[in-house]
Amino acid sequence: MPDIVSFVMQKMISTVIVGLFFLAGGSFAFDAERAVVVKIIDGDTLGITFQGRYEKLRLIGIDTPESRRNNRAWRQADQMASSLEEVVRRGKEAKRYVAGLLKKDMIVFVELDVQHRDRYRRLLGYLYLPGGEMLNEKLLREGYASLLTIPPNVKYRDRFVRAFRQGRRKSAVPLTD
């Protein structure tokens, strides 16, 4: 029962915050669309409901360490001159951090860039938390992600570089450029 109450309260709070933001004259300075969080896949990939259907959303401009042992985690370990276990540990930390910010059924906003999908058919976007803060940038600034700039989606590259530099100072393990 407490989970239901918690869920309802979180949903109400999210709705009220977003409503107050717009009532106070706030608006996003971009063309973002409403989405609903379904699940956290890892630090840079989420399951969302967007435009009426389930999508895997890959956050543009960032890369978090893998949270599972796989070929990509091995490559990241080589790039970071680190152990596979360290990569997976940091990947799990990034996923936990995102899970602490986003809850199932939370209303968020997604902004697309030039290229809407990657080669795996995942939606590519910038995700905004209910208060308007961009998750992609926050992950860089807090040291959970490294830069991954892939043209043509470079709209916030300069902002991300500044956030990444801040994050490198916070990160206990060196991140790659």
Give catalytic residues, as residue numbers: 58, 66, 122
Rg (CA), the chain: 16
Contacts of 36 (CB under 8 A, 6+ apart): 48, 49, 105, 106, 107, 108
Identify whether the C-beta of residue 157 lies closer than 8 Å to the C-beta of residue 149.
yes
What is the spatial distance between Cα 59 and Cα 128, in angstroms, rounded to a whole number? 11
Characterize 14-34 residue by residue with b for buried, 16 or more Cβ atoms within 10 angstroms of its Cβ, and e for exposed. Answer: beeebeeeeeeeeeeeeebee
Contacts of 41 (CB under 8 A, 6+ apart): 47, 56
